[in-house]
Amino acid sequence: MVAPSPFQRRPVQSRRGGPTKSPLSRDAIVTEALRQLTKFGLAGMSLRKVAAALDTGPASIYVYVDDLEELYALMLDRALASVELGGAHKATWRERVRRVLESYARVLAAGPGLAELALGTVAVGPNALRITERLLELLEEGGVELATGAWAVDLLVLYVTAVVAEHANGLDPAAPDGAVSRAIAGASARDYPRVHAARALLLSGSPEERFTWALDVFLAGILQTPRTARAGASKPAKRKP
């Protein structure tokens, strides 16, 4: 017996309604939670506040949602619905991979909290699957074998999520007053000669520039590192002789 996924569960018949209160529903809960999340960040959202906004007590939420973690998963997938996968365009497959990931990044960066939530939550809803499907398709178009593509999609999505989350946490390396800047600026030339020498470089570049560069790194690396033995690997594996 396996617990059913939260994405496919018997609907619940609300008993509220009429003129005073709109009926509760999983949808309404997710919508309100997402509103709070994107407006106030992860710490600014809570089950209790969602319940209060929906004019009920905290216990009522549990009729529609098992726990906070499940709510997170539902929220994330709802948000991922607006990621644009692009149609059949004339752009290169690389360009189209970039666009999908940029759209994904933009969705996560829409407000504080979403990216943070994405890092701690496994995205396995239908919309996450749609994104995975699309990226596999584009990589296939680029000649990446399925075995390699399967791992590559993981890598790409994880990286983008982490970058946006780091950034959204106010850890913007570019922020000149942040802890990062101060630490790097304060690194002594004696103890950390390279950090010191590279201090301007470490803090340079807009998020977009870094993102674009990172994608180039990934795609170049992926094309050159198939999982199946093949010509082109820069360094033969040499594990089993």
Partner DNA sequence: ACCTGAACACCGTTCAAGT
Please report, as residue ranges, which positions from 178 to 207 form the binding site for a second copy (by CB under 8 A). 178-180, 182-184, 186-187, 191-195, 197-198, 201-202, 204-205
Number of residues that bind a second copy (CB under 8 A): 75
- Spatial separation of the C-alpha atoms in residues 171 and 160, rounded to whole Å: 15
**Count of beta carbons in the 10 Å neighbourhood of residue 7:** 15
Q: How crowded is the C-beta side of 163, counted as CA atoms within 13 Å?
A: 22
**Angle 126-141/93-108 helices, nearest 10 degrees?**
160
- For DNA, the binding residues in 66-125 under the rule CB under 7 A are 67-69
Nearer to a second copy, 59 or 191 (CB): 191
- Binding piece for DNA, criterion CB under 7 A, among 12-20, 74-82, 192-200, 217-225: 12-20
- Binding piece for DNA, criterion CB under 7 A, among 43-51, 152-160, 208-216, 229-237: 43-51
- Among 52, 63, 68, 158, the residue binding a second copy under the rule CB under 8 A is 158
- Among 31, 38, 56, 103, the residue binding DNA under the rule CB under 7 A is 56
Backbone angles phi, psi at 26, to 5 degrees: -60, -40
Residue 35: closest CA among 44, 25, 48: 44
- Among 60, 94, 102, 110, the residue binding a second copy under the rule CB under 8 A is 94
Nearer to DNA, 121 or 148 (CB): 121
Q: Is residue 7 a contact partner of residue 65, using CB atoms and an 8 Å limit?
A: no
Residue type, 232: G
Instruction: State the DSSP string of 168-180.
Output: IIII-TT-TTSHH
- For a second copy, the binding residues in 11-50 under the rule CB under 8 A are none
Q: Does 62 bind DNA (CB under 7 A)?
A: yes
Radius of gyration of the chain (CA): 22
- Spatial separation of the C-alpha atoms in residues 48 and 50, rounded to whole Å: 5
Any idea what the Cα angle at residue 143 is, between residues 141 and 147, rounded to 5°? 105
Nearer to a second copy, 24 or 41 (CB): 41
Backbone angles phi, psi at 181, to 5 degrees: -60, -45
- Among 59, 88, 229, 237, the residue binding DNA under the rule CB under 7 A is 59
Nearer to DNA, 63 or 147 (CB): 63
Q: Does 235 bind a second copy (CB under 8 A)?
A: yes
- Binding piece for DNA, criterion CB under 7 A, among 47-55, 98-106, 134-142, 202-210: 47-55
Q: Does 238 bind a second copy (CB under 8 A)?
A: no
137 alpha carbon, distance to own chain's centre: 19
48 binds, among a second copy, DNA, none (CB under 5 to 8 A by kind): DNA
Q: Report the interface residues with DNA, using CB under 7 A.
A: 12-16, 21, 23-24, 45-49, 55-64, 67-69
